[in-house]
Amino acid sequence: MIGSRSGAQSKREFEEFAHARGTALFRTALLLCGDWHLAEDLTQSALARIYSSWGRVRRADSPEAYARRVLVRTYLSHRRLRRTEERPAIGELPERETFTEDPSLRITLLSALALLPPRDRAVLVLRHWEDRSVEETAAELGLNVGAVRTRSLRALNRLRAQLDEQLTGLGSS
């Protein structure tokens, strides 16, 4: 009887965690992949993996960081297994806590971000959108700190070049 009670409590704890962190995980997934439906699938896959090892996850120093790491690795694994090079168009975006003054600028930024390679995109999303430290980003991606710094610098340069092209195109329209 005690085992079933603790199993029910464990399930309830996971459900509370998934309810509290699900939206943030989805938002991160959407920023990573740029596709609403794929972001939903990635979030569900990550939550399923977290649930299967919930006993270990809930004892982790930061279950949120653990969940983000699982999500990013799920995304990177999906990208490796993907056989085509098609890129989805960005449709609806989830609501955010903050709003930009110019929605077209935000869409342009997301479009440029979608053109980056998956690992570069993951580094930029974690470092700048999720506001993670270099050390946290390195731990979540399984990279060393120097690799995160180098990848971040190069990805930002690529992103700036993409934005220059896209913003020049917006200005001439």
- One of 3.90.1310.10, 3.30.565.10, 1.10.10.10, 3.30.70.1430 is the CATH number of 100-173, namely 1.10.10.10
pTM value surpassing 0.75: no
The two three-digit tokens of residue 51, written as one number:
């649930």
The fold of the 10-84 domain, in CATH, is Rna Polymerase Sigma Factor; Chain: A (1.10.1740)
- Convert the pLDDT of each residue in 66-77 to its tens digit: 999 999 999 999
- Convert the pLDDT of each residue in 84-136 to its tens digit: 555 555 566 555 555 556 777 778 888 888 889 999 999 999 998 888 999 99
- Convert the pLDDT of each residue in 26-35 to its tens digit: 999 999 998 8
Using 50, 70 and 90 to split pLDDT, how confident is the model at 168?
A: confident
